[in-house]
A and B are shown apart, each in its own frame.
Chain A
Amino acid sequence: MVKRTGPVIFSEIEPFAGLKSALEMDRSDLLSMVRDSKLKGRGGAGFPTGVKWNLAATAQADVKYVVCNADEGEPGTFKDRILLTEYPQLFVEGMVIGAYAINAQKGFIYLRGEYELFVKDVEKVLDDMRAQKLLGENIGSKSDFSFDIEIRLGSGAYVCGEETALIESLEGYRGEPRNRPPFPVNTGYVGHPTIVNNVETFCVIPHILAKGIEWFQQFGTEESVGTKLLSISGDCKNPGVYEVPFGITVKEILEMVGADDVKAVQIGGASGSCIPVSESHRKIAFEDIPTGGSVIVMNASRSMLDVAENFLKFFEEESCGQCTPCREGVPVLLDGVRRLKRGTCTSAYLKDLLSASETMQLASKCGLGQSSPNAFVSIVKNFENEYTLTTQ
């Protein structure tokens, strides 16, 4: 449920006003506009969207692709579920604008398998747009722009939310992340230039096109322009999806959702940051605490070691297994948390665990492995009062 609408994504917009505006522009002007808007990706990584689109647009290839990452798998994230079910037209419109900008012919919506129920409604939007000639051959009567979209379902693999693993999955392989460089913008789906963007990012694009850069830059901060959808859950009175301006503080969020007696807030899911309540002056923004949207509130009754254990069990299950730091490191950290819980962890061993964590953060092949130790490291540092080290 949408608990709070905001001034951007959930604001009023005439259907397809953004697309119609885009089609009247030169591709190069459109690319400049997206770049100048300073829009950054809304999936969590925050890469500048205009830069990504520019790189794909200038890559030398006859065939290019647009992919919508609807694999929403980060624990505590459910904001794309709302966009997929209540605003499907908006993100499809964003995909068509992206296709026009980079000159792509084919698009995929990679929809997580858990959201199979939503396929019918998205298919209906695609059919409606084809009937209105806003998708398919000669879009907007342009003889040089034809673009169509296919929905592909995931099959229960969190790592397929990582863009190169997603592409591997689309190509019929195990969802194992690739080495980068090269990046999808020049070597993506079947080796062709591909833009992969989050559902929410595609939803913002039509608003920017229809209402302009100046309007968009009213919201947020200098480095994090615009608003962010947060999916807030856990120990609070009003869990749900909220649209908030970047720069909002953790304290303001806790007040907004009716959270009492808070001990910590996990922002960014299992791969995010564990913020103790003492740091609730900090802001949600790319320059402070970044997030794809997941916010999980924990009250004073919760055991933070249980929280760390939950996340590490998750990563153990979801690790693709290709690279040693992640495949071997995650189970070691999980065992480490269990030793801390039992009181059988020595201070020397804890040092080893933190050293292993650093190795994983530096040497893992993809973001899953690199961020898997984060919660463990911050919980061990910020909640020393919840465990006792042994000397034996």
Chain B
Amino acid sequence: MRYGTFVEKDGEKVFQCDEKNREVLLPILQEIQKEHGYIPDKDMQHVADQLGIHPVEVYAVVTFYSFLTEKKKGTYCIRVSNCLPNQLAGSAEVVTAFEKMLKIKVGETTDDRKFTLEMTGCIGMCDQAPAIMVNEKLIGNVTPGMINEILGAYN
């Protein structure tokens, strides 16, 4: 379902909302996040103007949801689940392996802006723990030995 389209404006892609409807703010922000890898300040302002609300209202929503970010992420966001079954199955070792291979710490992005590494809560894959997400992809039964192969798929 679409709530608007991206249009070219001064050489940049800007989101044009179909309706002045605040209720679809979250899906709109999800589209902007997908397009730019974050929600730039001026996009927050632009969406607020179109929906007839104060920019701080948009900011409030962006800062609440962990999948929406003010800072640009890498092309691929790796999220390692740390819910209890994952912790029991060894998620800590998986995190360490990613940190070593990517040469970054949790919360950081690689210099080439390709990968961001994060922790997350339960992703509903506890029967295949340790489990991770890479963007929308759910990957289960991850071992430190698999990290190379997982990252290799994104080359």
Contacts and interface: CB of A to CB of B under 8 A. Distances in A.
Interface in B25-42: 25-27, 29-30
A184 to B, nearest CB: 16
Given A76-B83, A78-B126, A310-B83, 12 more contacts: A76-B85, A114-B120, A117-B137, A156-B66, A156-B67, A172-B23, A174-B60, A233-B126, A235-B88, A310-B82, A314-B121, A318-B121
Interface in A302-319: 302, 306-307, 310-311, 313-314, 317-318
Interface residues of B, number: 36
A72 interface: yes
Interface string A150-176: 111111111000000000011111110
Given A114-B133, A318-B121, A75 B66 contact: no
Contacts of A153: 26-27, 30
A78 B125 contact: yes
Contacts of A169: 26
B154 interface: no
A288 B26 CA distance: 39
B88 A231 contact: no
B87 interface: yes
The size bracket of the interface on A is: 35 or more
A88 B1 CA distance: 18
A190 B136 CA distance: 30
A117 B23 CA distance: 23
Given A171-B22, A172-B25, A114 B84 contact: no
30 contacts: A1-B127, A73-B122, A75-B84, A76-B84, A76-B85, A76-B122, A76-B126, A77-B122, A78-B124, A78-B125, A78-B127, A114-B123, A151-B1, A155-B26, A155-B29, A155-B67, A156-B120, A170-B23, A172-B23, A174-B61, A175-B65, A239-B85, A239-B126, A240-B127, A269-B122, A270-B84, A296-B88, A307-B84, A314-B83, A318-B121
B80 interface: no
A241 interface: yes
A198 interface: no
A273 interface: no
A231 B68 CA distance: 29
B121 A75 contact: yes
Contacts of B30: 113, 153, 155
A372 B127 CA distance: 24
B71 to A, nearest CB: 15
Contacts of B24: 172
B24 to A, nearest CB: 7
A93 interface: no
A190 B26 contact: no
B68 A155 contact: yes
Contact of A158 (B23, B29, B88, B121): B121
A386 interface: no
Contacts of B129: 233, 239
